[in-house]
Amino acid sequence: MNHCTIDRAMTDRKLLGAALGDLSTWANWLTILKAAFALPLSDAEVEAFKTLAGGRKAPAERVQELWAVAGRRGGKSRMAALLSVYLACFFIYRKLLAPGEVGHVIIVSPTKAQSRAIRDYCEGFLTASPILKKQIVEIGKDVIKLRGGIEIAVHTGSFRSVRGRTVLAAILDEVAFLRDESSALPDKELVRAILPSLATTGGMLIGISSPYRRIGVLAERHRDHYGRDSADILVVQAPTLALNPTINRSVIDRATADDPESARSEWEAEFRSDLSSYLDDALIDGAIVYNRPNELPPRDGVKYVAFVDASAGRHDHFTLCIGHQGTDRFIADVVRGRAPPCDPKTVAAEFAALAKDYRCSKIIGDAYAGEWVAGAFSDAGMTYERSKLSRSELYIEALPHFARSVVEIPNHQRLIRELRLLERRTHRSGKDSIDHPSNGSDDYSNVLAGAMYLAISKTDFDYMSCAFLNAENWRGKGQPPFLNHSTQLN
């Protein structure tokens, strides 16, 4: 199909406009896309663009990257689909593709449900147009094949799924919420995987997402490029009502009254100020010992502790950490877990036997474990007690030890991923809590924090004679690393 500008395609009722409905409600999206493709803007559009783009000038050439930080219900998924269809249908790619080669316009979403929804929107744009539907060769569950060897393909969150493909354009839907079980930074890994292919084809990278906390690609692009003139990268930020004026204002007002921080993120498109990383990468990296085995054998004369996060074997991992307090640091000797599905009684017996190898007389577990856990360990000949501290309290206790670089952990990938993703939330009361992100997990990081607390509090003043922990050296400089928050120097 011959090239057609994005504004014409959106406004033509025989093209993309056939599925858009009332075009006046899409006015600011139209302005954003016209600017991204370096099309002339009207005086009113120039003013609107300055508001959306932080005061910067409109690009003089089509940008290589477009990042839209948008409020909830702002039409993000429909725009992702519209752009996918536009980039697949209105550009000539014959010179880029070898005979038999397939060019991909890829859409990546955090979940299968979101991916399918965008695929359905793509199908809707194509079939609603009497012209575009002629481009359809085949419609599949995750792929729409078009004439000319072009495919629109939807993927769920993994950077591995896009490698080895000829990528003509990439649209990242809700990129701030991407999750991958094997990576703490799936959005960064995804962009790193896509950019080399886009550099070859000259294709666009487009990220459209509500904001979350100030980490990841979306936050970095916003930090570095929002409000700044750039020939290659355009970042816009728009609250829900700027992109979808049909939303009832009272819905947003009620959400704001209920939870102001959440509402600012979801509806006003502001990055959350009440969320931060529990640990920065430098603190985590400083704790990892790369040249040690994942599990250290038990040693004579060492007092070990064991902490478990039990699972019923259906969803979460059943995890265990065995560790001890050395002369100058806490050492996680064993970090082990069993993935679901598993028989929890069998795992309890395995972990009980392992704890006995390390001369542990009891195992402490998560405060929220069910009554069956104590019975399962009792059947295996091991005493089980519930932790006196909650999961969040254990993380708070562990924080100063990471900060003082007195923690040693193995290069355990799932543990490290969980540590990097833990979130510190400041509530309106001023109190902090620490937890995994929505749809995340902390099975391994939880047992690490639990074992650390047990080992350090168990030593009490056993190590006061060590120069590193001498109270005189620490007086006036904060608390010694082995003291918890409720203990003070006299």
Tell whether 309 and 201 lie within a shared domain.
no
CATH number at residue 423: 3.30.420.240
Confidence of residue 97 (pLDDT cuts 50, 70, 90): confident
Report helix, strand or coil for 434.
strand
Confidence of residue 263 (pLDDT cuts 50, 70, 90): confident
Confidence check: pLDDT of 485 > 60: no
Tell whether 430 and 358 lie within a shared domain.
yes
Of 208, 240, 273, the position where a domain reaches its end is 273
CATH number at residue 85: 3.40.50.300
Any domain includes 488: no
- 369-373, Cβ contacts within 8 angstroms, sequence gap of 24 or more: 369/309, 369/310, 370/310, 370/312, 372/312, 372/344, 373/308, 373/310, 373/344, 373/348
| Tens-place pLDDT, residues 399-415 | 889 988 999 999 998 99
Of 219, 249, 273, the position where a domain reaches its end is 273
Per-residue DSSP letters for 25-76?
Answer: GGHHHHHHHHHHTT----HHHHHHHHHHTTTPPPPSS--SEEEEEE-TTSSH
Tell whether 232 and 306 lie within a shared domain.
no
Any domain includes 429: yes
Tell whether 236 and 286 lie within a shared domain.
no
Range of the domain at 255: 6-273
Any domain includes 222: yes
| Tens-place pLDDT, residues 133-156 | 999 999 998 899 999 999 999 987
Tell whether 309 and 174 lie within a shared domain.
no
Tell whether 20 and 97 lie within a shared domain.
yes
| Tens-place pLDDT, residues 38-55 | 999 999 999 999 999 999
Tell whether 302 and 252 lie within a shared domain.
no
Tell whether 218 and 351 lie within a shared domain.
no
Average pLDDT over residues 216-227: 91
Any domain includes 480: no
User: Cβ neighbours of residue 234 under 8 Å, at least 6 residues apart?
Assistant: 35, 36, 53, 59, 63, 65, 66, 67, 225
Tell whether 268 and 286 lie within a shared domain.
no
pLDDT more than 90, % of the chain: 58
- In this prediction, residue 124 carries a pLDDT of 96
Tell whether 217 and 344 lie within a shared domain.
no
Any domain includes 487: no
- In this prediction, residue 463 carries a pLDDT of 33
- In this prediction, residue 35 carries a pLDDT of 97
Any domain includes 482: no
Prediction pTM value: 0.66
| Tens-place pLDDT, residues 287-343 | 999 989 989 999 999 999 999 999 887 888 999 999 999 988 999 999 999 999 999
Confidence check: pLDDT of 223 > 80: yes
| Better pLDDT: 479 or 72 | 72
Any domain includes 334: yes
| Tens-place pLDDT, residues 426-480 | 765 557 788 887 767 899 999 999 999 999 886 543 332 333 333 333 334 444 4
pLDDT averaged over the chain? 86
Any domain includes 483: no
Cβ atoms of 324 and 304 closer than 8 Å? yes
- In this prediction, residue 370 carries a pLDDT of 66
- In this prediction, residue 59 carries a pLDDT of 95
Cβ atoms of 291 and 425 closer than 8 Å? no
Of 213, 240, 273, the position where a domain reaches its end is 273
- In this prediction, residue 216 carries a pLDDT of 83
Number of domains in the chain: 2
Tell whether 286 and 264 lie within a shared domain.
no
Cβ atoms of 6 and 37 closer than 8 Å? yes
Confidence check: pLDDT of 264 > 90: no
Tell whether 25 and 121 lie within a shared domain.
yes
